[in-house]
Structure 1
Amino acid sequence: MEQRVLNTLEYDKVIAMLVDKASSTLGKERAQELVPFTTIEEVQDAQQATEEASLVLRLKGSVPLGGIRDIRQSLQRARLRAMLSPADLLDIASTIYAGRRLKTFLLNLAEEQELPMLTGWAEQIEGLRDLEEEIKRCVDDHGDVVDSASVELRRIRQEIRGLESRIRDRLEQMTRSSSYQKMLMENIITIRGDRYVIPVKQEYRHVFGGIVHDQSASGATLFIEPEVVVTMNNKLRETRLKEEREVERILIQLTEQVSEVVESLQINIEMLGELDFAFAKAQFGTSLKATIPRLNDNGIIRFRKARHPLISAEEVVPIDVELGRQYRAIVITGPNTGGKTVSIKTIGLLSLMAMAGLPIPVEEESEAAVFSSVFADIGDEQSIEQSLSTFSSHMTNIIHILKSMDERSLVIFDELGAGTDPTEGAALAMAILDHVVERGARLLATTHYSELKAYAYDREEVINASVEFDVQTLRPTYRLLVGVPGRSNAFAIARRLGLSERIIEEARRTISEEESQVETMIASLERNARTAEQERQQAEALRAEAEQLRRQLEEERNRFAEEKNRLLEKAEEEARIAVQLAKEEADTIIRELRELRAEGAEIKEHRLIEAKKRLGEAVMELEKEKVKQQRPKAVRAAQPKVGDEVMVHSFGQRGTVLEKASDDEYLVQIGIMKMKVKQSDLSVHKEAKAQPAAQYTAVKSRKGSVKMELDLRGCRVEEGLQEVDRYLDEVLLAGLHSVSIIHGHGTGALRKAVHDFLRGHRSVKSFRLGGQGEGGVGATIVELR
């Protein structure tokens, strides 16, 4: 990518913004060196790193990037075994700690979110905890080698402190002595050249002997090392030299340890630089409220609400643009100072940013193309004075572009053909545009030549565009209108400024009728474009509202399905429990019957086995309830009729309607059983072709028809016994000798009460529980006298 093009489109200013977001010198250098990539694979990798870093910032808010130092020079010296300073070692320890902390942070987050690129870099960072701890053991935060760095250093420094103490004590005795005080300029002890001295008046220099190390500006004061402490100062100097040699030995030893892991440290700082750079891109995107666009290498640009990143959010006007799918070129026409240049710069700059792996200030679902090259010829030509040299300069650049471009290039021309005769300039501009389009490149061009307004209408791959102008405020709105060519608005502006209507009409008559019609057509197109944009925004709002309603309905549907499943599971569990209780009850009954038989009652073993088998079959039927509930249910009839075949949902069995018992109940026969069922529990499966006179077995007597069985299910004990008493009277009158009383399984309370009643009834000869095909233990067969 040519540097001149990057500067023309102000890419360098964007990079300066990015550099400010980096935390370390390493990240800042990576940002400073960033140039757009030209293959989609490279751009996708760069965008993925940015997207992962943006995800981390959204989840955590911040990233621990502090403490990263540029230690490359220190590593280079360590390779050469050159002694590192304490400050160099502290920077190395700080970088090791920062790398280990960032690595832990990212790997822990990667357990919750997929961050393949960031974690790939983080995993290459080595902890090197031993080296870090050794450096911190020997060097404090101020860059001083501490006493504990070695046993010898501790001993030497203790000796130094002892010597210093003795020297001070001896000099303080002299400064406190009354015989010496008059000879001293001040009663203080100071240091000159690392040796302890006292300030002595000039005339008393010979009293103290020793060495003169300094004097005041006036010469009245001499700084003398008295003879009594010269030997001790010499000893102190020797000891300090030992200290320096020991400190140097410790630093060389630490340097050796660094040199052993210098390659690992080199990898660490490379990975830290990549990570810092990735998070700088993410923070850059956050500051611009930017997004990661979709990418393609087909030359398709589709920016929604694109904003120039260097214009403040309060002033920038977003534009919508699409290029490369239906149209290869966009020609923006209209007067100067209307915002044409800003529009093409925005498109070009955002394309470069996307190719560099940066977020761009557009709305979601925008799309950017990866071009092999981007060319631009843009000049600030707002003056009517154009010189030959300016035109020659632009033409030289344009010729270079035409020679260098290919079908994967993006070409940007600003004020194409300007600077020469309008007729020749317009003709030259159209020829250049034709050449670029024929080569297959994508093209953005601006011009104020009216001849190019008709250019796009004659070519399928080119479309006109303009920047909207508000004649009321006499200012451009900077909104890009694709599909609408620009117009001069000269008459409207002149009228707004107060020019005589007569003069305006005179001027209007001088332009050709064709040009006038074109201006009228453009004005109509502008109005239609504004209307279409308003309707699009309304449709977008309605679409968003409909989408929200759809999501709400989907959520409601999911909640309903979950509740339905919960209720079904609850019903299944209740049915299972009921079956289990019934089975336990039946087992109890059978056990009681066997006990009765053992006591002498005449109950056959095969009847017990048959009862057990029927109970097992009932359990299997109830276990199939879940499958039955999932099948489509029949449409429930409002009014079942006598003879209809119906499904009794609470039992999962089919039966036949015998009669209507009440307003909302029907008498239904299921097998040999008859029961009253609520209408809401029934659905018709097959209507009867002809209703029979009766659907149950009965006998005739002079008193009328009496049923062969009495169904007590659902009755309380008191009600059941009343029904049994009434029923037996009717049976006796009818002359029947054997009838069935259905009391069901239940808890057994109703069955026991019925049996107690029958034992005491004078007309009952005997009674027994029903056998196979007679209702089993849920029915009692009564023999009458």
Structure 2
Amino acid sequence: MNQKALHVLEYDKITERLTEHASSEPGKKLCRELVPSSDIKEIRKNQQKTKDGIDRIFKKGSISFGDNKDFTGVLKALKIGSSLDAANLLRIAAFLDNVNRVKSYGRPQRDGEARDSLSESFELLEPLTFVSQEIRRCIVSEDEISSDASPALKHIRRDIMLTNDRIHEQLGRMINGSMRTYLQDAVVTMRGDRYCIPVKAEYKSQINGLVHDQSSSGSTLFIEPAAVVELNNKLKELMLHESAEIDKILAELSVKVSEHVNDIKYNSEIMTDLDFIFAKASYALEINAIPPVFNDRHYFDIRKGRHPLIDKNKVVPIDVYAGKDFGMLIITGPNTGGKTVTLKTVGLLTIMGQAGLAIPAGDRSELSVFDEVYADIGDEQSIEQSLSTFSSHMTNTVSILKNADENSLCLFDELGAGTDPTEGAALAISILNDLHKRNIRTLATTHYSELKVYALNTAGVQNASCEFDVESLKPTYRLLIGIPGKSNAFAISSKLGLSEDIIDAAKEQISTEDKKFEDLLADLEMSRKTIESERLEIAEYKKEVEELKKKLEEKTDKLNRQREEILREANEQARDILQEAKNVADETIRVFRKAGPGASMQDLERARTGVGQKISDKNKAISVKKEKAKETHPILKESQLKLGESVKIVSMGLKGTISSKPDKDGNLYVQCGIMRTKTNIRDLVLVKEDDGKAAMKKFYGRASGSSKMDLSRAANIKTEVNLIGKNSDDAIAALDKYLDDAYMSHLNNVRVVHGKGAGILRQAVHAHLKSVPYVKSFKLGEFGEGDAGVTIVTFIK
């Protein structure tokens, strides 16, 4: 692909943005060096990899390849037997750990998961975990080797520590003893790996030892006392042994790594390639791009295409196609209307697709493979070469005409501009006609009306225009294929306030043919807008019809399911009825046979009566079901309900008293004996107070005036319940059970001990007592009965 076109179409800016999505330097290098391909097999392969990368990011999120480095120099050093330092060994360990993470990322999430174009790359990675673990065991950081790296190193460091301790002990006695007066400071310092003490210069003769340094003022001498010279010598020797042992450890680690040089090299290549692929996938997600379909028949169909370098919140999608019904597209329209952007969008998306990148366009967008893309776009006036704009454009055009063939895509911006309009238009038509005869796919923008006529009159050449809103004096940036652009100079001038006299005078300067052509374009534009409006209206109608059709189908399906359910239930009921009838008939026959010829008339009549009774019972049950199904009752209002009011729960056939107010949905609690039932106001009817009391007495098995009592319950029941220490919920539950037992045992009154405290438990007890139907009254205890800590409850007799 020629570099001029790549530069003009700003492909370099795409690779810069792509590079930002790579996480390793080798991956970034591949992104920077990415160039379009003209091999359709390679393009499809690369597009598939990009697509699979996008799918994996969607499923598992992103993965970093940041520890992948350029190990070329390191691997060469290992091959010739050189030892690596700790820093390079740690980089290899970090890289192998990264390989392990990437390999885990690439594993299938479940058995039988479909493979994709990246599966093999993930499988070929060799984490060499044992190598990275050994490096991590021996090397703590770039500046520190672990003492556990070898037994010898551990032994040497122990000796170093002991020697250090002895030196410090010796020097400590000196600086804290009789020599203290000779010292500048009571500290131990290092000078050239030797332990020294700072001695005042005038007391030099008082200290037996070697002078290693002096202060800048000369007032302090750093002397190594003779008593520690031998120990310092030993320490130096141990440090040399330590350094040698560290070199030995690094050499052994390097040998281990060198055994897997090829594996590390292949790992690096695969990691670099995966980083590059996932960078393309990540960039595709950023610009909302999709992998296009590719063909080799030189036609393209870009749907909702967007220029990737324009703000995605401002760019206007375009539909542009060429190569099937026509091979050349001539785009007209006002300045800043989007003509140049259209050319750049087609050119840039084409080379992006051929580079294996996803393109910001709609699904099913299709591109073709071109060996070359030529572009003459923008003002290329050259002062250095003394070329005018026209000359510069014509130089480019001559080069394109010389090199382009049927496998090329040519893009011309304002073809023939920069010179006399009549000559420029004639040249432009001639150039386009030459390209058209050679079957070269071409897109050109122009202002010349002659080119619009050329497109109308030439088979295989199509007009297109960039829409312009005259009312707002703004382009819409929509591309309309099949419609030449109308000149809006007069309309725009009028809107901007130019005198009508001047505009009328200008119109008189235009030839009759030009006027007719402009009028024809105006009629076409009006027809297009009318058709577009009607198309949108029809689309809305179609959408409504589809929605109604869908609702009707859903309703029909629901009715069919209900009908099938009703038929199924009816068949099951009929089967049960027939089975029951058969059972009755069989039973009757058995009775008659058992009775025999000598059976009395009374026996036979009893058998007949039994069969009749069964039929009667069945009919009665059916009647009750019908009656229940028809049963209705007036819906109560909230104002009709009071706490303690007697009601009946229709659906359950239970009677009780209201123990809570209805909530916003009409739900409330009804006390049915010892059961507290949640129901809805719609399921309640009021009952008379007498009926409620009778029902309550019947529920507890106690008739009015009866002396019958539950002796076993009465023998164990106490006259007092203690609720102190319980929370409100537990206390009410215990109280409720106790009151039931006390009332069933025919106690007249009982004591509820709840304590004084903050009064919360007392309030809860009193609120509950108000809802108990068989509680006649309650009061706080008198002096001597427990005062406010006790409530006396009296039952209904």
TM-score (norm 1): 0.70
**Pair 1:160 & 2:129 matched:** no
* Contact 1:110/1:119 (8 A) holds in 2: no
Map 1:58-97 onto structure 2 (within 5 A): 58-63=58-63, 65=65, 67-97=67-97
Is the alpha carbon distance of 1:248 and 1:555 closer, same or farther for their aligned partners in structure 2, counting shifts above 3 Å?
farther
Q: Counterpart amino acid of 1:105?
A: Y
**Pair 1:318 & 2:317 matched:** yes
* Contact 1:387/1:419 (8 A) holds in 2: no
2:593 to 755, 760, 780: 755
Q: Take 2:407 and 2:390, find their aligned partners in 1: how far apart are those partners?
A: 27
Shift of 1:500: 1.0
**Residue 331 of structure 1 aligns to a residue in which SS?**
strand
* Contact 2:381/2:392 (8 A) holds in 1: no
Residue of structure 1 equivalent to 2:721: none
Map 1:210-609 onto structure 2 (within 5 A): 210-380=209-379, 388-537=387-536
Q: Counterpart amino acid of 2:433?
A: D
Shift of 1:261: 0.8
Q: Counterpart amino acid of 2:14?
A: V
Map 1:732-751 onto structure 2 (within 5 A): 748-751=586-589
* Contact 2:306/2:315 (8 A) holds in 1: yes
Deviations along 1:482-531, one digit per CA (max 9) or x if unpaired, are: 22223332111211121111111111111112212222222333333344
Q: Counterpart amino acid of 1:516?
A: K
Residue of structure 1 equivalent to 2:127: 127
Q: Take 1:238 and 1:555, find their aligned partners in 2: how far apart are those partners?
A: 92
Deviations along 1:56-107, one digit per CA (max 9) or x if unpaired, are: 1112233364544443332222122221121211111122122122222212
Q: Counterpart amino acid of 1:450?
A: S
Deviations along 1:330-381, one digit per CA (max 9) or x if unpaired, are: 1112343332111110111111111112111111121122222211111237
**Pair 1:205 & 2:204 matched:** yes
* Contact 1:44/1:295 (8 A) holds in 2: yes
Q: Counterpart amino acid of 1:417?
A: G
Q: Take 2:545 and 2:369, find their aligned partners in 1: how far apart are those partners?
A: 35
Q: Take 2:10 and 2:352, find their aligned partners in 1: how far apart are those partners?
A: 11
Residue of structure 1 equivalent to 2:108: 108
Shift of 1:392: 3.1
* Contact 1:192/1:214 (8 A) holds in 2: yes
Deviations along 1:181-200, one digit per CA (max 9) or x if unpaired, are: 33323222222322222333
Deviations along 1:129-179, one digit per CA (max 9) or x if unpaired, are: 2111111111124552211111111111111122222222222222223x4
**Sequence identity (%):** 44
**Residue 320 of structure 2 aligns to a residue in which SS?**
strand
How many corresponding residue pairs? 601
Is the alpha carbon distance of 1:210 and 1:449 closer, same or farther for their aligned partners in structure 2, counting shifts above 3 Å?
farther
Shift of 1:55: 1.0
Q: Counterpart amino acid of 2:341?
A: V
Q: Counterpart amino acid of 2:134?
A: E
Residue of structure 2 equivalent to 1:21: 21
**Residue 468 of structure 2 aligns to a residue in which SS?**
strand
Query: Where does the alignment leave 5 or more consecutive residues of structure 1 unmatched?
Result: 579-649, 652-676, 678-712, 717-742, 764-785
Is the alpha carbon distance of 1:15 and 1:461 closer, same or farther for their aligned partners in structure 2, counting shifts above 3 Å?
same
Q: Counterpart amino acid of 1:292?
A: P
**Residue 144 of structure 2 aligns to a residue in which SS?**
coil
Q: Take 1:111 and 1:334, find their aligned partners in 2: how far apart are those partners?
A: 58
Shift of 1:237: 1.5
Q: Counterpart amino acid of 1:108?
A: P
* Contact 2:121/2:270 (8 A) holds in 1: yes
Is the alpha carbon distance of 1:762 and 1:218 closer, same or farther for their aligned partners in structure 2, counting shifts above 3 Å?
closer
Is the alpha carbon distance of 1:501 and 1:751 closer, same or farther for their aligned partners in structure 2, counting shifts above 3 Å?
same
Map 1:636-651 onto structure 2 (within 5 A): none
Q: Counterpart amino acid of 1:149?
A: A
* Contact 1:171/1:189 (8 A) holds in 2: yes
* Contact 2:50/2:358 (8 A) holds in 1: yes
Shift of 1:19: 0.9
Is the alpha carbon distance of 1:415 and 1:148 closer, same or farther for their aligned partners in structure 2, counting shifts above 3 Å?
same
Is the alpha carbon distance of 1:219 and 1:566 closer, same or farther for their aligned partners in structure 2, counting shifts above 3 Å?
farther
Is the alpha carbon distance of 1:238 and 1:530 closer, same or farther for their aligned partners in structure 2, counting shifts above 3 Å?
farther
Q: Take 1:304 and 1:159, find their aligned partners in 2: how far apart are those partners?
A: 77
Q: Counterpart amino acid of 1:461?
A: G
**Residue 363 of structure 1 aligns to a residue in which SS?**
coil
Residue of structure 2 equivalent to 1:174: 174
Shift of 1:539: 5.2
Shift of 1:208: 2.8
* Contact 1:338/1:478 (8 A) holds in 2: yes
Is the alpha carbon distance of 1:107 and 1:757 closer, same or farther for their aligned partners in structure 2, counting shifts above 3 Å?
same
Q: Take 2:563 and 2:79, find their aligned partners in 1: how far apart are those partners?
A: 72
Q: Take 1:408 and 1:515, find their aligned partners in 2: how far apart are those partners?
A: 37
TM-score (norm 2): 0.69
**Residue 236 of structure 2 aligns to a residue in which SS?**
helix
Q: Counterpart amino acid of 1:495?
A: S
Residue of structure 2 equivalent to 1:769: none
Q: Take 1:324 and 1:78, find their aligned partners in 2: how far apart are those partners?
A: 56
Shift of 1:225: 2.6
Residue of structure 2 equivalent to 1:31: 31
Q: Take 2:222 and 2:253, find their aligned partners in 1: how far apart are those partners?
A: 41
**Residue 479 of structure 2 aligns to a residue in which SS?**
strand
* Contact 1:299/1:442 (8 A) holds in 2: yes
Is the alpha carbon distance of 1:451 and 1:163 closer, same or farther for their aligned partners in structure 2, counting shifts above 3 Å?
same
Q: Take 1:497 and 1:419, find their aligned partners in 2: how far apart are those partners?
A: 26
Shift of 1:428: 1.6
Q: Take 1:550 and 1:270, find their aligned partners in 2: how far apart are those partners?
A: 57
Q: Take 1:412 and 1:523, find their aligned partners in 2: how far apart are those partners?
A: 28
* Contact 1:53/1:279 (8 A) holds in 2: yes
Residue of structure 1 equivalent to 2:40: 40
Shift of 1:327: 1.6
Q: Counterpart amino acid of 1:337?
A: T
* Contact 2:326/2:461 (8 A) holds in 1: yes
Shift of 1:541: 5.8
Q: Take 2:74 and 2:560, find their aligned partners in 1: how far apart are those partners?
A: 66
**Residue 469 of structure 1 aligns to a residue in which SS?**
strand
* Contact 1:377/1:397 (8 A) holds in 2: yes
- Residues 2-11 or 166-175, more deviating: 166-175
* Contact 2:50/2:277 (8 A) holds in 1: yes
Shift of 1:477: 2.4
Q: Take 2:549 and 2:301, find their aligned partners in 1: how far apart are those partners?
A: 27
**Residue 303 of structure 1 aligns to a residue in which SS?**
strand
Is the alpha carbon distance of 1:272 and 1:470 closer, same or farther for their aligned partners in structure 2, counting shifts above 3 Å?
same
Is the alpha carbon distance of 1:149 and 1:485 closer, same or farther for their aligned partners in structure 2, counting shifts above 3 Å?
same
**Residue 222 of structure 2 aligns to a residue in which SS?**
strand
* Contact 2:299/2:323 (8 A) holds in 1: yes
Q: Take 1:122 and 1:555, find their aligned partners in 2: how far apart are those partners?
A: 47
Is the alpha carbon distance of 1:94 and 1:175 closer, same or farther for their aligned partners in structure 2, counting shifts above 3 Å?
same
Q: Counterpart amino acid of 1:288?
A: I
Q: Take 1:150 and 1:565, find their aligned partners in 2: how far apart are those partners?
A: 82
Shift of 1:750: 3.6
* Contact 1:175/1:187 (8 A) holds in 2: yes
Q: Counterpart amino acid of 1:755?
A: R
Shift of 1:296: 1.4
Q: Counterpart amino acid of 1:175?
A: I
Q: Counterpart amino acid of 1:752?
A: R
* Aligned-CA RMSD value: 3.5
* Contact 1:304/1:319 (8 A) holds in 2: yes
Shift of 1:762: 8.1
Q: Take 2:114 and 2:553, find their aligned partners in 1: how far apart are those partners?
A: 28
